Chains A and B, each alone.
Chain A
Amino acid sequence: MRNDSASSTSYHTYVVGRDKELAMILDMVLEDAQFKVATSLESWASADTLQISQKGWIIETLQNINPSQQRHEDAEVSPYQKEMGGTIEYTQVYNNTVGELMNSIIIPMVGISGVGKTTLAQLIFNDKRVQKHFQGQSAWIYCTDNIRKEELMTKILVSLQPQRKILDLGFDLNSLHDQLQSFIEGKRFLLVLDDVSDDIRAVWGDVKSVLSRGAPGSVVLVTTQLYGLASCGCGDYSSNIFESATV
């Protein structure tokens, strides 16, 4: 007899200390609220140049550690927060300075690995209000390395409509593009792209053009370790926000 362990994500979504971020994202997702960053982001911008964002940094570092040389003593605890840019303040933007109403918005969540991006995204994705808001039109994608355009589109299409029998879903990009576009057209959807890496740049243009067909209020929640990706890779007008924020 098979006894399957409780395979629910809810156990792990015990979240503390993220009230501010959670409230802000929920406002953005449910109320179309807009925020801008009110503090300097220079230290974050420089974080990408550190080893953190490089693939396999942890592997290299660990392989260079010689256990015999490690001393058995309490290591000095460094003030971690300060190293990583400190607290970020946000202010809500009430008048729509962008001028143009967006069909879909991308909300990037940035932070180092293990800081709880995925957990927070899961909390939002599973939130009853959010599920109701999107009426089930929501999909979660675990991004893989070297993800291909057609692979990403297939994943989105299949995740958005798990019931559907995909008969003619080959790897013909044109047909995939059209299928995804016609499915998304005019629908309000929530898409989570979890753990996006730099590889996405190669495919992002095409995917974004498809996602732009969604109804206003559609949300793409992106979790990434790369500040650079969040601020420019996916963005159209994000640079504007940064400019106004950093001046």
Chain B
Amino acid sequence: MAVGTTAPIFLNPLQYDDLWKLFKHHASFGNQSTQALESIGRKIVDKLHGLPLAAIMIAVSLRNYYDEVCWNRLLKSWWWSVSSNSLGIHIAASLGVCYCELPAYLRQCLIYCSIFPRNYIFGKYELIQMWIANGFVELDNTVGPRSLEDVAAKWFDELVNRCFLQPTFWELQYVMHDLVRDFTIALTSNEYRGVDCELAHLPQSVRHLSVSMENTNVPRTDYNIKNLRSLMLFGGLRDSNSSECNTTVGSLLEKSYGTVDCLTEISYDTVDNISEGCSDAIGNDHADIILKRSCVTIGSILRKSTCLWLLNLSNMRPNAALACSDNQLLVEDHVTAFARFITRHHMLPHLTHLRFLDFSYSGITELPDSLCTLCNLQVLGLRSCRFTQLPRSMNSLISLRHLHADADTIALIHGIGGLTKLQDLHEFRVKTEDGYRITELRDMRYIEGSLCISDLQKVVNRAEATQANLSRKDGITCLHLKWDRNQSLKGKYNHFGKELSQYDIGQKEPLHVILLQKNDIPSDISGSIVNPSTLDPPINILQCLVPPRNLQKLKIFGYPGYSFPDWVQGLRYIQVIEISHCIELQVLPPIGQLEHLRKLKSYELPSIKDVSSDVYGTSNMVFRSLEELSFGSMVKWEN
């Protein structure tokens, strides 16, 4: 068994003609080509020293500007004269030229990227939200009403088009070329410090700071960086002195928790005094000391930085986003301990200007009540964190625009309807208690993208459903309506002991009523009993959940009604419909007439007898755009 290494493949700079071809391709001026432009272009390519990256970046800066003045300006840029004895500095010159072509508003956003580590994978929306939290993005009133997010997304795309950020193999994830990153770092002033910086020499003027947790192992607490706006923490806590990371984290846990609890309970003066000397009293373990020092370091930075706008702890675990694909973190370690320290940090409620706070993947299991006083918070990240309860007044975070959390976490928020600026909700679970009813959705008019409403069997009546105001939420493009199928099945097949095929479809009584009369009366957690007589049949509920007009995707799961309300055939822009596990459903809506429907999926619809006569409706033109059609598990289908 062996690994061999082949001869290295050496990549030389390109020959002139190849580089010219590449330049022409990316400048895409094939049709508008004039002799003048071509001769300027050739002169520019002369200066690129055979480097394709330079050629591509220059070419895309010139794309769509087909006038000689513009090309000449670029040719005469003083950046070309930048040279030194270093080989390869030439590419810096061409990057400088591209940078000069950037509009001013993009420059700030680009420079911000310099504080991220090398080869950091940028999530598009993550970066956009950071720009917004930092106040980089302003609404452009000339182009009509758009959100800050829309503007920032356009800016982001522009940086991608100009190759300052490059796509990766993963959707919506981007990476910055090494050289571009180095170049942006060279442009930064003392206001920016990336992960490579030494904390001991932090300039007072620093505003945007990335800290590698490995560098926090310095016993210094007299930071005085009052202007700090962004603080991002990278990398876990590593015991740099022990040769391997083999020390089992588990054995260190108890001690470190003890340590952190001590730290949070004692006052600041005491924390400041914790140094190598007195830490011996708490525990001799080297890793413990490192954790303690990190807490002290970051704690003292936070204490002075009361204007902080952004605090990001989501990058402390290497590769967390990938490793937590199932949204579960079973390993508790120093990162969790550290994050707990931050959540219990006395300063957190004093960071009143915080707009962006991300604890994702940190493993915290509780949030302090004081968090709810951060009324400027726009983004709260809690991905993969598991909670048993949340502070009662989470809905006082009235500025919150983005909440990144698992469905279980979102379901814990009491009175989520108070967060009227929230743009992404992902999943809303209906409950029957106050503060968790479907009526919470009433004023959440900025929700966009995809929304799943589950446990719809808990909607009591039409009035409640109407109050959800779904039709007014124009941003929603994908709506998923879910009833709890187990509940229906339990009542139907287990309780009554009937098989699916034996079920008498002739009975006219709505399922819900039967269930309620013969089965236990459903009661919610708080013990209040829902009066069956106030329950509307499922179709009446669904009738009131009219989606916005421009919905593109509709998924219906476990709907217990016999037929669909009329609004289904009114969804003019719908592209995808998926109907499944509706065991009562006897009639499909006339979806064949929906002009833009590309994909129709229906399965587990045991009561459907005749598909074609249902879906065709009255028109002769059916399924004009259909590309994909699938039916499955429809046991009563007759033709």
Q: Give the interface of A toward B (CB within 8 A).
A: 1-5, 7-9, 11-12, 14, 16-18, 21, 24-25, 28, 34-37, 44, 47, 50-52, 56-59, 61-65, 67, 70-75, 77-78, 80-81, 83-88, 90, 98, 100, 102-117, 119-120, 125, 140, 142-146, 148-151, 154-155, 158-159, 162, 164-174, 194-195, 197, 208, 211-213, 220, 227, 230-231, 234-238, 241-242, 245
Q: How far is the CA of A75 from the CA of B174 in the complex (A)?
A: 34
Q: How far is the CA of A245 from the CA of B88 in the complex (A)?
A: 27
Asked whether any CB of chain A lies closer than 8 Å to the CB of B117, the reply is: yes
Q: Are B8 and A77 in contact (CB under 8 A)?
A: no
Q: How far is the CA of A115 from the CA of B50 in the complex (A)?
A: 8
Q: How far is the CA of A71 from the CA of B196 in the complex (A)?
A: 33
Q: Are B6 and A35 in contact (CB under 8 A)?
A: yes
- Give the Cβ gap from B217 to chain A, nearest Cβ, in Å: 14
Contacts A2-B449, A50-B87 given: A140-B169 contact, CB under 8 Å? yes
Q: How far is the CA of A47 from the CA of B449 in the complex (A)?
A: 51
CB-defined A-B contacts under 8 Å, sample of 15? A1-B448, A5-B156, A7-B173, A8-B167, A52-B86, A56-B185, A56-B196, A58-B88, A59-B186, A80-B50, A103-B1, A115-B13, A162-B325, A166-B323, A195-B118
Q: Are B6 and A71 in contact (CB under 8 A)?
A: no
In the bound complex, residues from chain B placing their C-beta under 8 Å from that of A234 are: 5
Q: Which of A88, A142, A245 contacts B175 (CB 8 A)?
A: A142
Q: How far is the CA of A98 from the CA of B174 in the complex (A)?
A: 41
- Give the Cβ gap from A85 to chain B, nearest Cβ, in Å: 7
In the bound complex, residues from chain B placing their C-beta under 8 Å from that of A61 are: 84, 86, 89, 92, 186
In the bound complex, residues from chain A placing their C-beta under 8 Å from that of B626 are: none
Q: Are B326 and A110 in contact (CB under 8 A)?
A: no
Which has the most chain B C-beta neighbours within 10 Å: A52, A62, A106?
A: A62
CB closest chain-B residue, reference A3: B153
Q: Are A112 and B87 in contact (CB under 8 A)?
A: yes
Q: Are A98 and B160 in contact (CB under 8 A)?
A: no
Q: How far is the CA of A236 from the CA of B1 in the complex (A)?
A: 12
In the bound complex, residues from chain A placing their C-beta under 8 Å from that of B173 are: 7
Q: Are B18 and A16 in contact (CB under 8 A)?
A: yes
Contacts A115-B52, A238-B6 given: A58-B89 contact, CB under 8 Å? yes
Q: How far is the CA of A12 from the CA of B46 in the complex (A)?
A: 22
- Give the Cβ gap from A174 to chain B, nearest Cβ, in Å: 7
Q: Are B168 and A9 in contact (CB under 8 A)?
A: yes
Segment at the interface with A among B119-127, B201-209, B405-413, B488-496: B119-127
CB closest chain-A residue, reference B53: A114
- Give the Cβ gap from A21 to chain B, nearest Cβ, in Å: 6
Q: Which of B8, B53, B214, B330 contacts A108 (CB 8 A)?
A: B8
In the bound complex, residues from chain A placing their C-beta under 8 Å from that of B118 are: 144-145, 195, 197
Asked whether any CB of chain A lies closer than 8 Å to the CB of B565, the reply is: no
Q: How far is the CA of A235 from the CA of B4 in the complex (A)?
A: 6
Q: Which of A24, A51, A146 contacts B87 (CB 8 A)?
A: A51
Q: Are B167 and A105 in contact (CB under 8 A)?
A: no
Asked whether any CB of chain A lies closer than 8 Å to the CB of B485, the reply is: no
Q: Are B248 and A85 in contact (CB under 8 A)?
A: no
Contacts A16-B18, A61-B89, A105-B5 given: A111-B12 contact, CB under 8 Å? yes
